[in-house]
Chains A and B, each alone.
Chain A
Amino acid sequence: MHAALVCAALPLFLGALLCDWAYARSHQVQWTNFASWLVAGGLIFVCLALLWGAVDVLRSSATRHRRGLIYLLLLLASFAGGVVNALVHARDGWAAMPTGFVLSAVVLVLAAAAGLLGLADLCRRTTT
């Protein structure tokens, strides 16, 4: 189920990336404000998934363990990246750019990869 939490974060991170892009194009500061909230919202889901996922993987059987660890590391990386991204977005105005835009893209990719791994694991477990 924690895989679903990661997937819930994806549209928020995608939204943040689009807002960053819109800010870069338009220089309208409201876009970076939107991005700040979307990054923060995505972080909450990733954080919950990380906690739940950690408990799940550490309690799991040895065969599932390796894949689980990669999943956890991806989650951890997207969480850490998200925290840094949130702090970068807390800078005033253009000081968040272009770092914020790049980080939003990186975090989105990491979270998407974690989500895919998590979903694949979920499918495997429900079919066997």
Chain B
Amino acid sequence: MTLSTRRIAAATAATAVLAAALTLVAQADSNSGQYGASPELPSPQRGLLPSMGIAVPTAWDDRRPTVPQGWTITAIATGLQIPRQTLALPNGDILVAEGKGKSAPVLTPKDFIAGIIKARGTTSVKGGDRLTLLRDADGDGIYEGRWVYAENLNAPYGLVLVGSRLYVANQDALVRFDYKDGDTRATAAPVTVTPLPSAINHHWTKALTADADGRFLYVGIGSNSNVGERGMAIEENRAMVWQVDSNTGASRPFATGLRNPTALAFEPGSGQLWAVVNERDELGPDLVPDYLTSVREGAFYGWPYAYWGSNVDTRVQPQDHRKVDAAVRPDYALQSHSAPLGLAFARAGGDGLFAEGAFVGLHGSWNREPPVGYKVIFVPFRNGHPSGPPVDFVTGFQADGKTMGRPVGVTVDPQGAVIVADDLSNTVWRATPAR
């Protein structure tokens, strides 16, 4: 063997090792469109690398999101600082929560590398830590008025108005402003209602809603890990929905085992609390389904010990069989990894295809190739329960393999228009039905 053939032999050996390693990487199958009460659950799979498809951001230019026939969509605000959730005030003004939680500290080499990879699929703008108020005074659909309602908040996310009290869920505390009709600026610094769990804050978003009479507030608190890999001690008061007394600030766990409840809303007909929840990653492209579920008092939804009822997640050791047995099944599966971050019910009294049901903003996947989500869907309801497959509502956030926008919060405003916050292009969209 000459020197050069030896070199080639060494290089071939190295290539063979790498090729062998890469064939072990999980293969994603096609988009199966998982949804509903009994989704198909393939067996868990995980190659040497999780399957990944990270969004490649690009500008909208002259493209626009696609809406169903009879609807139009316009950008009512651009150049925001990471808009997440929105709130339609009674006079039609739109309040936008802008911000982003700080990243959880790097615990393993994986955290370091995954942080760099995932950051490529998000905006490079810094979170605003503020609330922006948008106003269309003359009702022509152009929101010419724009004010900073409040600033120096801490990654505000959930918003709800109860009478004259505007509640804001910062990443570390539930705070309250006094609001009166027509305000464009908070008149005083916010009052803290209760601190919220914020150590590490891996899933930092704090979802928020209030019941009909405003006595109780409900706060969605995400887990501090994918599946308990930071240890269970740091998961105290995480992965659950809190019920908070709006007068005293006293809190208690209302439902638990919800990995990352990112949006909460009451179904108007039944008065039942519903949530969208982001389930765990790295078990394959079609596992575990994210979901839309009614949130039942005292129920345990499985995280981290089990998923979709009593399917054991063996990554958690020691296991807890009593917890596994106690886990309840969510009501309605959404495609695995589609990342629902927004939830709003249609207003009572509407008509047509989108009259009764829930709009759900799907931020879009990373742990899946081909990607899923990146759209707003509508889940039709009848008698307070989902009644059929989801319907695409706003689509066209991706084109030619690139991503122009990623939907987060959805809100139905007093005119029946649907407000969609887009945290990639930093835009607020408004889809209006034809009159």
B282 to A33, Cβ gap below 8 A?
Answer: no
Chain B residue at minimal CB-CB distance from A39: B109
Taking the closest CB of chain B, its distance from the CB of A63, in whole angstroms, is 14
Partner of B314, one of A37, A77, A94: A94
Partner of A90, one of B17, B110, B227, B317: B110
A29 to B21, Cβ gap below 8 A?
Answer: no
Chain A residue at minimal CB-CB distance from B4: A58
Chain A residue at minimal CB-CB distance from B49: A87
In angstroms, Cα B48 to Cα A67, docked, is 33
User: Which residues from A are CB-within-8-Å of B227?
Assistant: 92-93
A40 to B231, Cβ gap below 8 A?
Answer: no
User: Which residues from A are CB-within-8-Å of B49?
Assistant: 87
Partner of A94, one of B7, B226, B282, B315: B315
User: Which residues from A are CB-within-8-Å of B314?
Assistant: 94-95
User: Which residues from B are CB-within-8-Å of A58?
Assistant: 3, 6-7
User: Which residues from B are CB-within-8-Å of A89?
Assistant: 108, 110
In angstroms, Cα B282 to Cα A87, docked, is 13
- A84 at interface by CB-CB < 8 Å: yes
Chain B contact residues (Cβ within 8 angstroms of A): what range?
20 to 34
With A58-B3, A72-B10, A88-B48 known to touch, is A93 a contact of B108 (CB < 8 Å)? no
A29 to B110, Cβ gap below 8 A?
Answer: no
B10 to A93, Cβ gap below 8 A?
Answer: no
User: Which residues from B are CB-within-8-Å of A4?
Assistant: none
User: Which residues from B are CB-within-8-Å of A91?
Assistant: 46, 282, 315
Most chain A CB within a 10 A radius of its CB, from B48, B109, B282:
B109
Taking the closest CB of chain A, its distance from the CB of B129, in whole angstroms, is 31
In angstroms, Cα B228 to Cα A89, docked, is 15
User: Which residues from A are CB-within-8-Å of B17?
Assistant: 76-77, 80
User: Which residues from B are CB-within-8-Å of A36?
Assistant: 108-110
Interface of B (DSSP majority class): loop
User: Which residues from A are CB-within-8-Å of B10?
Assistant: 54, 69, 72-73, 76
Interface residues of B in 214-256 (CB under 8 A from A): 225-231
Taking the closest CB of chain B, its distance from the CB of A119, in whole angstroms, is 22
User: Which residues from B are CB-within-8-Å of A64?
Assistant: none
B108 to A90, Cβ gap below 8 A?
Answer: yes
Interface residues of A in 79-124 (CB under 8 A from B): 80, 83-84, 86-95
- B14 at interface by CB-CB < 8 Å: yes
A93 to B48, Cβ gap below 8 A?
Answer: no
Most chain B CB within a 10 A radius of its CB, from A36, A84, A93:
A93
Q: Encode contact with B along A29-50: 1 for CB under 8 Å, 0 otherwise.
A: 1100100110010000000000
Chain B residue at minimal CB-CB distance from A92: B229
B317 to A37, Cβ gap below 8 A?
Answer: no
Partner of B13, one of A40, A76, A84: A76
In angstroms, Cα B108 to Cα A86, docked, is 11
- B75 at interface by CB-CB < 8 Å: no
